[in-house]
């Protein structure tokens, strides 16, 4: 139901309620008027009968009842007749007695109807307040206030406008705070990268000139690379959090992209005697950010290489139900039970995380796939090993993300 329909539904309820109460009041008043008129007519009838005692025919009596003579005299005669009969003070009660139950029924019906409408009104009010509160929560995105003023009461609009301003203010503070953090992180990373680059150059020179320190220098270079990668990952995650990243989507051959990644990663696989095989449909094109899609595949393959010594890694890609599908499998140790979904959490150092890893690579991969409007999941294979599944929409260059 649209907001317009809800609004007019509420308005219609109150119109019907007010109209119903007015009808009840009018019915009660008019019923009392009718009862009084009935009593008056009865008294007139008695008065007419008394006056017609000398008439010998019923026809003359009927003509007298429906004649246009003065009714006031007949009414007075009727009252005198009732007094003569011994009903001097209670003749009105006697006249009303046949209609008393009907009168009481009408009064009770009116009272019950009024209370029912009051209860329904309160219920409707609570429901309206609940709906209005829900509207407030997403008003900024879904209900442009300036275009929908006729849907809300003045007080409600004032409350919404105040809340909207508070939300805008808090969002602005949040944006400014994130920007300050990003500037701070970029400054820190810049300050750290420079000495790390110098340290790397020094270690490489020492390693080249003094072979007896090659083992120690190798460890130093490894730690330097680890710090450099961690700083880069932190900056990238910070940009994702602050929504500073904008994916540069373009059409690219899936075969070329996967082949590029495999060529870059084979240098890590060869020392561990790991075979990487690729199977996929030719002539498939992905609309993606080539750089970040390569980073996703590299991060996953690095994780697989670390846990598949002397093993095999398989890459499959294709299309399934208008979704690009990428599957990466290894025959390593797999995941501990219940940790399949946790590996994408930041800084999670589980059983499949190598020593010295920042624990950010798979978290970045998940953020990138989300930017591609897709999903990434991990699971254990029945025959042993891990499996990563990536799904994202199959679109062409004319499609707007």
Strand order in the sheet with 323-330: 275-280, 312-320, 323-330, 386-393, 375-380
DSSP per-residue letters across 140-201: HHH--GGG-GGGS-HHHHHHHHHHHHHHHHHHHHHHHHHHHHHHHHHHHHHHHHHHHHHHHH
What is the rounded CA–CA span in Å between residue 332 and residue 330? 6
Residues 6+ apart with CB under 8 A from 64: 48, 51, 52, 55
What is the rounded CA–CA span in Å between residue 261 and residue 297? 7
0.75 surpassed by pTM? no
Beta-bridge partner residues of 317? 280, 326
Residue 401: the pLDDT is 42
Residue 354: the pLDDT is 53
Instruction: Tell me the pLDDT of the chain (401 aa) as tens digits.
Output: 444 444 445 556 667 667 777 777 777 777 777 666 666 666 555 555 555 555 445 455 445 544 545 556 656 666 666 666 555 555 555 555 555 666 676 677 777 777 777 777 777 777 766 766 666 665 555 555 554 544 555 566 677 778 878 888 888 887 777 777 777 777 777 777 778 888 888 888 888 888 777 888 888 888 888 788 778 777 777 777 766 667 888 999 999 999 999 999 998 888 888 999 999 877 889 999 999 999 999 999 988 888 877 788 999 999 988 899 999 999 888 887 777 778 888 766 665 555 555 667 888 899 899 989 999 999 998 888 899 999 999 876 544 44
What is the rounded CA–CA span in Å between residue 238 and residue 395? 28
Residues 6+ apart with CB under 8 A from 388: 300, 304, 326, 327, 328, 329, 376, 377, 378
Helix (H) / strand (E) element for 217: namely helix 214-241
Residues 6+ apart with CB under 8 A from 70: none
């Amino acid at each position: 139901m649209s907001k317009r329909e809800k609004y007019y539904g509420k308005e219609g309820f109150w119109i019907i309620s007010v109209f119903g109460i007015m009808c009840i009041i009018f019915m009660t008043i008019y019923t009392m008027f009718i009862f009084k008129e009935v009593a008056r007519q009865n008294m007139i009838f008695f008065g007419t009968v008394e006056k017609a005692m000398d008439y010998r025919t019923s026809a003359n009596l009927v003509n007298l009842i429906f004649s246009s003579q003065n009714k006031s005299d007949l009414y007075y005669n009727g009252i005198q007749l009732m007094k003569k009969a011994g009903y001097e003070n209670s003749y009105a009660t006697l006249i009303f007695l046949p209609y008393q139950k009907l009168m009481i029924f009408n009064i009770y019906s009116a009272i019950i109807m009024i209370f029912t409408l009051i209860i329904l009104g309160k219920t409707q009010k609570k429901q309206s307040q609940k709906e209005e509160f829900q509207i407030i929560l997403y008003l900024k995105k879904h209900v442009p206030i300036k275009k929908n003023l006729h849907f809300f009461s003045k007080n409600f609009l004032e409350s919404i406008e105040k809340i909207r301003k508070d939300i805008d203010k808090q969002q602005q503070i949040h944006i400014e705070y994130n920007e300050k953090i990003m500037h701070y992180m970029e400054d820190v990373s810049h300050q750290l990268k420079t000495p790390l680059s110098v340290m790397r150059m020094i270690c490489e020179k020492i390693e080249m000139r003094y072979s007896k320190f090659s083992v120690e220098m190798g460890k130093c270079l490894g730690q330097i690379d680890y710090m450099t990668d961690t700083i880069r990952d932190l900056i990238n995650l910070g940009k994702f959090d602050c929504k500073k990243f904008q994916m540069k989507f373009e059409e690219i051959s899936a075969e070329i992209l996967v082949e590029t990644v495999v060529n870059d990663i084979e240098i890590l696989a060869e020392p561990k005697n790991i075979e990487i095989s690729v199977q996929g449909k030719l002539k498939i094109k992905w609309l993606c950010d080539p750089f970040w899609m390569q980073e996703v595949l590299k991060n996953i393959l690095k994780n697989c290489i670390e846990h598949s010594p002397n093993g095999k890694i398989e890459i499959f890609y294709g299309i399934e139900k208008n979704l690009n599908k990428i599957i990466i499998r290894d025959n390593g140790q797999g995941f501990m039970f219940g940790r399949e979904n946790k590996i994408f959490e930041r800084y999670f150092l589980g059983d499949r995380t190598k020593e010295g890893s920042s624990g950010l690579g798979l978290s970045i991969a998940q953020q990138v796939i989300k930017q591609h409007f897709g999903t990434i999941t991990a699971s254990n294979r029945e025959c042993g090993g891990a499996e990563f599944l990536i799904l994202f929409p199959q679109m062409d260059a004319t499609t707007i993300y």
